[in-house]
Amino acid sequence: SERLFLEMADRLAEDGWKDLGYKYINIDDCWSAKHRDAAGRLVADPERFPRGIKALADYVHTRGLKLGIYADLGTLTCGGYPGTTLDRVKQDAQTFAEWGVDMLKLDGCYSSAKEQAEGYPAMARALNSTGRPIVYSCSWPAYQGGLPPKVNYTILAEVCNLWRNYGDIQDSWDSVLSILDWFFTNQDVLQPAAGPGHWNDPDMLIIGNFGLSYEQSRSQMALWTVMAAPLLMSTDLRSISPSAKEILQNRLMIQINQVRLGIQGRRIVKEKSHIEVYMRPLSQGASALVFFSRRTDMPFLYTTSLAKLHFPEDTVYEVQDVYSGKIISGLKTGDNFSVVINPSGVVMWYLYPSAFPAQ
């Protein structure tokens, strides 16, 4: 209901979230009335949103935040509410702009591949023609299996700001792992598609809910950051635990996620010991490394070197552990080092060169 979104906006504004960059508060499916009005416009459910979406957007804006909304390119939304058929695209875009909406997620239930191929670019044009800046999140590739030849990532990057490539996340570690496996098995296709203004979206952060342990929560945050994923939380900020809040508000983590260079990371090592290493290049020769354990038994001592991870020779790095804050100074590319990784946990490093090899 309206009250939920008003209270979440207050929490975002007052509990430090907004200052870290969590600025969009997004309404999902089922917000609308079951029927359009006499003029064919979408209207909010009058009982749950008695003052309408514009009043909610206005309040969200007074708190220095932005409002996102959900629609579906089809006869119905996934939840069975009025969809946006091709003849309604312009009208609905205009409605959202008039309400002061700042982001649109356009789902794809109850539509054909042909309708999606026409409708997703049509909505991009319609949103742009409103004159209001509206971030555009597409579910288009997810409905086409997420991979070429059915999905053309070059066209997608021109049409959408972010897109769902894969199925919905559930509140479970198995679900997180299935997303991770799909994204990194297909990283040669997916990684080049991402960049500033056009992002792969592996779906929401479920940290703070019920399905993830503390270690698994830290892992999702680190792995989503290395994927250059949009950080969209899905949890109740009125009752979030201090430990979940600490993970989601990790300042260095968010700075790494938001690096303007916008390159998505890759899995660079997959060991028989069930340890994996992920690397994301950052600005000015810096990098983020994630050491991830798929083990379920006990903490694992993993030994390697930056040389084995294909870092440039003869470079010296400063290292900061993203979670503990611990600093390692003067790490040379050839030096062996060890990290202790908890079961289904991560160690995440931020590395930046303190000395380059003599040119």
Q: What residues act catalytically?
A: 107, 168
| HEC string for the chain | CHHHHHHHHHHHHHCCHHHHCCCEEECCCCCECCCCCCCCCCCECCCCCCCHHHHHHHHHHHCCCEEEEEEECCCECCCCCECCCHHHHHHHHHHHHHHCCCEEEEECCCCCHHHHHHHHHHHHHHHHHCCCCCEEEECHHHHCCCCCCCCCHHHHHHHCCEEECCCCCCCCHHHHHHHHHHHHHCHHHHHHHCECCEEEECCCECCCCCCCCHHHHHHHHHHHHHCCCCCCECCCCCCCCHHHHHHHCCHHHHHHHCCCCCCCCEEEEECCCCEEEEEEECHHHCEEEEEEECCCCCCEEEEEECCCCCCCCCCEEEEEECCCCCEEEEEECCCEEEEEECCCCEEEEEEEEEECCCC
